[in-house]
Chain A
Amino acid sequence: MINLLLLEWDKFKKNSVFRTMVIAYIILLPTLMLSMQSILDFIDFPMKSKSIFFEFPQVWKFMAYSGSWQAFFFFGFLGVYLVTSEFQNRTLRQNILSGLTRSQFFIGKLLFAGAISVFSTLYFIVITLVLGYFKSESVSLAVATQGIGISLRYLVMVFSYLNFGLFVGYMLRKNGLALLLYFTYIIFLEKILRWAIQSKLLNLEDKYNLYYPMNVFNDLTPLPLKEMIKQVTSMETQYHILSPNMALLLAIGWNIAFLLGAYYRFKKMDL
C-alpha cells in the first residue's frame, strides 16, 4: 500500500501542474482570508465588529468555507489531472504492462488523493489556529479548539472534490473534456439537473434538492452566514442547508458511489 502511494509521489512530485495547484492552495488559503478583511474594511460592512470572521471559534467556519472554494478549484482540477494525464501520456498503459494491476493503479490514485486531503486539512488547522490566535482578543485553548470539529468535514470535503475529479477523469479520459465537465457540472449542470429532475420529473419536496452530490459537498463547510440565517429564522429557509452530520453521511455515500462507478468502468475499459 505504502509503495503505491510513494509511486504516485514519484510520478507527480516534479510535475508543474501538481506543484502549481499545491502552492496556490498553500498561498491562497491564508491570503484570501486576510484580503477579505481589507475588503470588509473598505466597504464599511454594517457589523459591530469586523473581526468576527477571524476570531475563535467563528474563524474555523469562515476558513473552512474559504478553503472549500480552493478545494473545489485546485484539488478538483488536480483530481482530474492525476487520472487524465496518465491516459494522455499513455503512461497508464506502460504502468500496467510493466506489472501493475488495474486495482493497484486505482488504489494508488485513491491513496494519493487521501494523502493530499490529509495534508491540506492539517495545513488548514495550522493556518486557522495561527490566524485565530493573532486576531482574537483573548485566546484560551478551550476557545481556540472549540470549532476544530469542522476539520473532519473539511477533510471529507477536500477528498470529495478530489475524488469527483478522479471519477470524471476515469469516465472521460481526455483532459480538456474532463475539466470542462468537472467545472460545468459543479457550477451549473447540477443546478439544472436538480431543477429538471426535482420539480419537473419527480415533483418531489424541496428538501430532496439538497441531496445532490455537489450540494452535499458544499454543505460540509457552508457559508457561515447561511447557518446563522437558518438559526434566527424559522421560515422556509429551514431546508436550504443540510445538517453537518447529514452532509457528512451523504458525502461519504456519494464518495463510495463515485469510487465504485470509476472502478467498474476502469476495470472494463481497454486502455
Chain B
Amino acid sequence: MNVLQIEGLSKNYGKIRALNGLNLTIESGQVMGLLGPNGSGKTTTLGILLGILHADAGSYRWFEGQYPENEARKKIGAILETPNFYPYLNADDNLDIYRKIKGAPPQSFDDILRQVNLIERRKSPFSSYSLGMKQRLAVAATLIGDPDILIFDEPTNGLDPNGIAEMRQIIQDIASQGKTVLMASHILDEVEKICSHVTILQKGKLLASGPIGHILTENSFILLNSENNDRLITLLHDKKGVLNITKKDNMIMLEVDKNLSAQAVNRLAADGGIWLSYLEERKNTLEEEFIEITQPHHSFN
C-alpha cells in the first residue's frame, strides 16, 4: 500500500519558489530520507503534508485517501523543526495533551519515556529541559497512539555528539519495528545510515528518488593535486574508466568506475610526466553523490 502520494506540490513565499511541482510516493514500510541543503524545500514539504502550510498548487493523499485529513494526521507521529510543547507543563502533562488530540485511549507513558530516556525527568517542566531532552520528548510524543508513520524533521539539529548518536539510535530502533519513516535531513551520513530510500531536493525540485542502493552508484571518487592541474586534466580526461572530472578547491575530483584504482591513476599521471602532490581515494558516500547531483558541473569530459 502506498501511504503517501504527492502530486505536483508547489509553494511560493512571495517571489521565492520554495517547492516546485514535487511528485513523490512513499510505500508502507519504507524509511525515506528527504535530503537537501537548507532552503531546498524539505520543511515546506512536511509543513504542507501536516496541514501547517497551504500549498499553492498540487495535492497529496495519506493512506490512499481513506481518512479525512485530520484523522490521517492522528495516525502519524511527527516533529516539525523544533520540539513544540507547553513550557510550563511537565513531560506527562504535555504528552497527555497530545494523546487527547490524537484521540488515543488513556495510557501510562512509562514505556515511551523509558525508550527516550526521560523517565527520571518526567515531572520537570518542559522549559527546564536541555535541547537534547526536548528533542527526545518530541520523539516520545510521536510514539503516542502507536502510529504507522513517523515524520522527523532534522532530528539531530543542534544536538551534541552524544545526543546525535542517541537520536539516531532511537530512530533506527523505530524503523526496525517496520514502521514507515519520513526523515528530512541535510546530513547525508545520517540519511545513509538510517534510511532505505532517499529523495533528493534542491531549490524545491526533485532531483532523484529511489532506494539508496540505486541512487548510489558503484563509482568512486579520487581527489588529486599536482603542480600543473590543467595538464593533468588534459592527460586524464580520455582515459578508460574516467567518468567525470571536476575542479574542487584548487584540486581535481575524479569520478571513476570501480575498475580504475587510485594506484592506476597515479601510474597514468607518472607515465604522462606529472608527479602528484596529493592523492586520496574517497569512500563512495552519499555526500559525493549529493554534490554530484546538486551542483552544476564544471565538467571537462
Contacts and interface: CB of A to CB of B under 8 A. Distances in A.
A96 B84 contact: no
A3 interface: yes
A14 interface: yes
A100 B70 CA distance: 6
Contacts of B102: 98-99
A89 B101 contact: no
Given A99-B70, A270-B54, A14 B88 contact: yes
Best-surrounded residue of A98, A104, A271 (most CB of chain B within 10 A)? A98
A6 to B, nearest CB: 8
Nearest to B77: A98
Interface stretch (B91-99, B191-199, B204-212): B91-99
Given A89-B87, A91-B85, A97 B97 contact: no
From B54, B69, B71, B141, residue with most partner A Cβ within 10 Å: B54
A226 B88 CA distance: 44
A270 B70 contact: no
Nearest to B46: A97
Given A98-B98, A99-B103, A100-B101, A11 B86 contact: yes
Contacts of A3: 100
Interface string B44-58: 000100111110000
Contacts of B98: 94, 98
Contact of A10 (B54, B69, B85, B100): B100
A90 B126 CA distance: 14
Contacts of B80: 93-94, 97
A91 B70 contact: no
Q: How large is the interface on A (under 10, 10 to 19, 20 to 34, 35 or more residues)?
A: 20 to 34
Contacts of A6: 100
Contact of A89 (B81, B86, B96, B103): B86
A184 interface: no
Contacts of A94: 80, 84-85, 98, 141
Contacts of A101: 51, 69-70
Contact of B88 (A16, A102, A271): A16
A14 B100 contact: no
Nearest to B49: A97
Contacts of B52: 93, 96-97, 270-271
A268 interface: yes
B78 interface: yes
Nearest to B70: A101
A95 interface: yes
Interface in B96-143: 96-98, 100-103, 141
Contacts of A97: 50-52, 73, 76, 78, 80
A7 to B, nearest CB: 6
Contacts of A271: 52-53
Interface string A1-33: 001001100110011100000000000000000
Contacts, number: 76
Contacts of A91: 84-86
A268 B56 CA distance: 12
A96 B89 contact: no
Contacts of A89: 84-87
A99 B52 CA distance: 11
Given A14-B89, A271-B53, A99 B101 contact: yes
A42 to B, nearest CB: 41
Contacts of A100: 70, 101
B42 interface: no
A96 B100 contact: no
A270 B84 CA distance: 16
Contacts of A96: 50-52, 73
B141 to A, nearest CB: 8
B82 interface: yes
Given A10-B96, A14-B93, A93-B52, A98 B101 contact: yes
A202 B282 CA distance: 77
B186 interface: no
Nearest to A18: B88
Interface string A120-137: 000000000000000000
Interface in B1-58: 47, 50-54
Name which of A99, A102, A268 has the most chain B CB atoms within 10 A of its CB: A99
B54 A268 contact: yes
Contacts of B76: 97
Contacts of A93: 52, 80, 84
B74 A99 contact: yes
A72 B138 CA distance: 37
A97 B53 CA distance: 11
Contacts of B69: 101
A95 B101 contact: yes
5 contacts: A7-B101, A91-B85, A93-B84, A94-B98, A99-B71
Interface of A: 3, 6-7, 10-11, 14-16, 89-91, 93-102, 104, 268, 270-271
Given A16-B88, A98-B78, 11 more contacts: A10-B97, A11-B97, A89-B84, A89-B87, A90-B81, A96-B50, A99-B70, A99-B73, A99-B102, A101-B69, A101-B70
